[in-house]
Amino acid sequence: MLIYLFCYDVSPHNSHSFPALIYSLSMKTCITCGMPLTGNHANDIGLELPEGPVCKFDSENGKVKSAEAIFEGGIVFFAEETTDGDRELAERLTRKNMHSLSYWKTHPFKKLEGTEATDAEFETAMAKL
Ligand SMILES: [Zn+2]
């Protein structure tokens, strides 16, 4: 599970690199988590799909990992980095982030259904990254 933590850019020097919501769509980002794939992360591309690149943390053996695994990775990330372990909030933050990515509009899965974080909650969480 630990590896999923690094799926998201937590660099304090580059606060604009995450999440997809504030990251420019014109930049190269992972289509499944929104992680930037430029600069320090230029070598983190694990897979190139017709829809775009997938980071190495969201792919395995030439395939995108399961939606559930990527979703869980987001929860772990947000819980540890932004919510002091509040998993319920982390889950809603993950949902909001994934909803912002067009990939999940065409690859819906059960856990994506449910309550999303509010804009205020999301902004508060982002400010901690
Ligand atoms: Zn990714």
Determine if the peptide bond prior to 19 is cis (ω within 30°).
yes
Give the distance from CA 45 to its chain's centroid. 14
Rounded Cα distance between 117 and 129, Å, is 16
Nearby residues of 76 by Cβ (< 8 Å), 6 or more positions away: 1, 4, 5, 90
CA of 24 to the centre of ligand 1 (A): 16
Q: How far is the CA of 115 from the centre of ligand 1 (A)?
A: 22
User: pLDDT at position 21, please?
Assistant: 53
Query: pLDDT by residue (tens digit) across 37-93?
Result: 998 889 999 999 999 999 999 999 999 999 999 999 999 999 999 999 999 999 999
pLDDT value at 13 more than 50: no
C-alpha torsion angle, residues 57, 4, 39, 48 (rounded to 10): 20
pLDDT band at 129 (very low <50, low <70, confident <90, very high): confident
Ligand 1 centre and the CA of 122: distance in Å? 19
* Distance between CA atoms of residues 16 and 51, nearest Å: 23
CA distances from 12 to 7, 18, 60 (A): 15, 11, 28
Q: What is the pLDDT of residue 24?
A: 44
**Measured in angstroms, how far is the CA atom of residue 57 from the centroid of ligand 1?**
6
Digit-coded pLDDT (tens) for 104-123: 999 999 999 999 999 999 99
Residue ranges of the domains in the chain? 66-129
**What separation in Å is there between the alpha carbon of 119 and the centre of ligand 1?**
22
